[in-house]
Amino acid sequence: MTMGVDEMSDDTQPRPSIRPLHDGPYEVDGLDHFVNSRGEPIATEPSMQLCRCGHSHTKPFCDNTHEAVGFSGAKDPERVPDRRDDYEGAGITIHDKVEGERTIPLTPYVAAILRPLARRNAFVFSSPRAASGRLEEPRIPHNRALAVAGIEGLTLHGLRRSFGTLAEWVEVPAGVVAQIMGHKPSATAEKHYRRRPLDLLRMWHVKIEAWMLEQAGIEQPAESEEGLHVVKTG
């Protein structure tokens, strides 16, 4: 189960705090609004302990199962450490669950959104409040955007799935969509899976973005050669 936590808007009130206990759960204090991934409210208490080991039978809350399974909060020495790379041009390199790392086209509108973000530290999606210095829970701004737009029930995963559906309006080859989305190679999607170069993917990706923006009444910005800073997190 994944959770979304809304920040308190009244600056005169103490802000919620969360900290990991040594080889134990997350301890959360001062939280007054707590929802799951479906937007359903979860009752809160002034101080709560949330499962960090992944084995609790009362998720999202801790039931001390971490003691039985020998959970350790130490960082995995085999993890990919955080680092910042600079990528020039029309691609952006990200991590995914299929290949570990892949490069996809950076479309004009996405580039225009990312470029003016505050550069507080090494992270593209930085946070002035998070201890890590980066955005840790994307569902918070996502849910706020949905509230402003008056949209209900659209999860981040649902947003990802809609990309493949909407791409069909531009008659994009199924294999192109699969490669952009990072799906595993599939002979079902096309007769023979082909690894397409970035420039070819970009041609289709820009068309997809242009069509989506047209439906929303938004003009696609001119392309820029300015590079973007991309952060990889482990």
> Domain total for the chain?
2
Q: Answer with the one of 50, 74, 98 that is the final residue of a domain.
A: 74
What crossing angle do the helices spanning 156-167 and 139-149 adopt, rounded to 10°? 60
Q: Please give the structure tokens belonging to residue 45.
A: 């208490």
Section 94-104 average pLDDT: 68
The CATH number assigned to the domain holding 36 equals 3.40.5.90
Q: Are residues 64 and 123 both part of a single domain? A: no
**pLDDT tens-digit series, residues 106-142:** 888 988 888 888 778 877 788 888 888 888 888 888 8
Q: Are residues 132 and 207 both part of a single domain? A: yes
Q: Are residues 207 and 98 both part of a single domain? A: yes
Section 177-188 average pLDDT: 73
Q: Are residues 32 and 132 both part of a single domain? A: no
Q: Are residues 70 and 87 both part of a single domain? A: no
Instruction: Write down the pLDDT at residue 90.
Output: 67
Q: Are residues 209 and 100 both part of a single domain? A: yes
Contact criterion met (CB below 8 Å) for 202 and 105: yes
Instruction: Write down the pLDDT at residue 117.
Output: 80
Q: Are residues 63 and 92 both part of a single domain? A: no
Q: Are residues 121 and 61 both part of a single domain? A: no
Domain of 186 in residue numbering reads as: 83-232
pTM of the model as a whole: 0.52
Q: Are residues 173 and 103 both part of a single domain? A: yes
Q: Please give the structure tokens belonging to residue 131.
A: 């201890």
